[in-house]
A and B are shown apart, each in its own frame.
Chain A
């Protein structure tokens, strides 16, 4: 859609404001041009100890931890509200009581917001997008009417992930939508997305969204899974099975049909080699086809900064190589949460805390620094030796091991592939 003359605007997540002019876009859309004399936006320069990019679980925990060590923090997020994926999670989280276990995702986000509002030395920039990292350790960000040039001593990029899409005939019909997109529309904005849904993918996201659809009064026809076993955790599967939602393992989505909207989805069985078995088609009367086939880490900022990257299939894609305390080969640039590799919310929170504690251990005075170091070692031990010991996290754990290097190896990597930029004043 074209909003106030700006093409390619995602109206599905744009807050309604007085005087908003929304026009249906035809084709690619046009880029608004302005003359060089015209002052487009106001510019502000910010210096800070820590810049956190991304206000999801990892970023919020990182920000809160950093402020507790007396560091100044700027948090930047594209959305109009902080919380990231937590905002759209209405189910209760696993874990232990200290780590928000038992709270619903949106409640965890509310909890963070309450604490951050009272935290000293914090500045929150919502509806603001970081567009790049530049020489001299400068980070550029823009909001609708302001251009920020931020110079942080440390950068924690907790940029999350993007949903994967699937190729099949008519996948551009309205009604074909990512599971995360539906969660935003339904759980955050309170809009019922359709009447009859088919969910593709039986990972935790697919199972949880099916349950949430049912809660919203949407009929869920089936969950389709190409593998012989359910992808997600049993308890999430049991929650939808007992309300009669079938999980079709060894099945794949063939195509959808419809006119202005999806009206029918066709599913078929696959053989041992995942080839489609002709004649096994099942038709579903559905106006919603949700894709819950996985996430891909959003690491564009790390890649652009020149961090050494690695393809790790267990983590969902290309991720920055990092130390145990989550520093990348770009000096003082950290990674945390799903952007370090797809895992889940509690590990994202723990990673956010680890990154901030590592920053505190480098930048605070001796007594605080050693406290930060002690705390960090404790959390690292819990994360790697207890939490990630779960067989349900084995795949992600293996991936995170693959992406992690020692301090020694990091130094060697920095020599071999010197990053074009660095942050702060350390080596």
Chain B
């Protein structure tokens, strides 16, 4: 037994992310877009490190957890498309009217800018609807940025495109 709830549930809550040093501090979250790496286990993997354009992610050994320098991170989202575990997200809680979340997406159909999509939390529960702001791709992983209702920025971790009947 690892002692972590995420090992039993497949869902990692904010307290466990914080305990593992994976949660950006509140003031950083409020300042603008920032990467959130929900990567709590020592997977032998460091793909995000060389791809980060601002060199904000550090790993001493290939099995270390990623250590993000939140001040260097610009929230560009490269990590979202390169992370093999699809564990990287970008959250922007700085706006007053809405939050913005960038999630990896590997399902068809691929949404387009302006589409309304279903918002899913870490348990797959539908927590609302959001509007697609930006879509881009790298090696068939899409990064989809959605505008979500204010307060859902730390909840939404996936989108689902309703298929047209």
Chain B residues lying within 8 Å of A102, measured Cβ to Cβ, are 47, 82, 84, 139
**Stretch of B38-46, B69-77, B94-102 lying at the A interface:** B38-46
Report whether A243 and B47 are in contact in the complex, using a CB–CB cutoff of 8 Å: no
Tell whether B136 is near chain A: CB-to-CB under 8 Å.
no
- Contact residues, A205-256 vs B (CB, 8 A): 214-215, 228-230, 233-245, 247, 249
Partner of B120, one of A93, A244, A346: A244
Name the residue on A nearest B45 (C-beta).
Answer: A94
A102-B82, A238-B38, A390-B43 are contacts. A214–B107 as well, Cβ < 8 Å? yes
A94-B85, A229-B7, A230-B10 are contacts. A235–B123 as well, Cβ < 8 Å? no
Partner of A237, one of B2, B10, B62, B82: B10
Report whether B45 and A101 are in contact in the complex, using a CB–CB cutoff of 8 Å: yes
Report whether B85 and A386 are in contact in the complex, using a CB–CB cutoff of 8 Å: no
Report whether A235 and B61 are in contact in the complex, using a CB–CB cutoff of 8 Å: no
Besides the known contacts A95-B45, A95-B47, A241-B123, 19 further A-B residue pairs in the complex with CB atoms under 8 A apart:
A95-B84, A107-B139, A215-B108, A228-B1, A229-B8, A233-B85, A234-B10, A234-B41, A237-B10, A238-B87, A239-B85, A241-B9, A242-B121, A244-B120, A247-B9, A247-B10, A387-B62, A391-B41, A392-B43
Tell whether B158 is near chain A: CB-to-CB under 8 Å.
yes
A104-B139, A386-B63 are contacts. A392–B107 as well, Cβ < 8 Å? no
Partner of B122, one of A94, A242, A386: A242
Report whether B84 and A390 are in contact in the complex, using a CB–CB cutoff of 8 Å: no
List A residues at the B interface (Cβ < 8 Å).
91-97, 101-104, 107, 214-215, 228-230, 233-245, 247, 249, 346, 386-393
B15–chain A nearest beta-carbon distance, Å: 15
Partner of B86, one of A97, A103, A104, A239: A239
Chain B residues lying within 8 Å of A240, measured Cβ to Cβ, are 10
Given the complex of chains A and B, what is the CA–CA distance between A101 and B10 in angstroms?
23
B154–chain A nearest beta-carbon distance, Å: 14
Given the complex of chains A and B, what is the CA–CA distance between A93 and B141 in angstroms?
13
Tell whether B135 is near chain A: CB-to-CB under 8 Å.
no
Q: Please list 16 pairs of residues, one from A and one from B, whose beta carbons are closer than 8 Å in the complex, sorted by A's number.
A: A94-B47, A95-B44, A96-B45, A101-B47, A102-B47, A104-B139, A229-B1, A233-B41, A233-B85, A234-B40, A236-B85, A238-B86, A241-B11, A242-B157, A391-B63, A393-B44
Name the residue on B nearest A236 (C-beta).
Answer: B85
Name the residue on B nearest A394 (C-beta).
Answer: B42
Report whether B41 and A392 are in contact in the complex, using a CB–CB cutoff of 8 Å: yes
Given the complex of chains A and B, what is the CA–CA distance between A215 and B106 in angstroms?
7
Chain B residues lying within 8 Å of A238, measured Cβ to Cβ, are 6, 10-12, 38, 86-87, 122, 157
A68–chain B nearest beta-carbon distance, Å: 24
Partner of B44, one of A91, A92, A94, A228: A94
Chain A residues lying within 8 Å of B45, measured Cβ to Cβ, are 94-96, 101
Chain A residues lying within 8 Å of B43, measured Cβ to Cβ, are 94, 233, 235, 390, 392
Chain A residues lying within 8 Å of B1, measured Cβ to Cβ, are 228-229
Partner of A244, one of B6, B44, B106, B124: B124
Report whether B124 and A243 are in contact in the complex, using a CB–CB cutoff of 8 Å: yes
Chain A residues lying within 8 Å of B85, measured Cβ to Cβ, are 94, 233, 235-236, 239
Given the complex of chains A and B, what is the CA–CA distance between A238 and B157 in angstroms?
10
B87–chain A nearest beta-carbon distance, Å: 5
Tell whether B50 is near chain A: CB-to-CB under 8 Å.
yes
Chain A residues lying within 8 Å of B82, measured Cβ to Cβ, are 102
Chain A residues lying within 8 Å of B62, measured Cβ to Cβ, are 95-96, 386-387, 390
Tell whether B125 is near chain A: CB-to-CB under 8 Å.
yes
Chain A residues lying within 8 Å of B125, measured Cβ to Cβ, are 244
A94-B43, A346-B44, A387-B63 are contacts. A228–B8 as well, Cβ < 8 Å? yes
A102-B139, A247-B10 are contacts. A392–B124 as well, Cβ < 8 Å? no
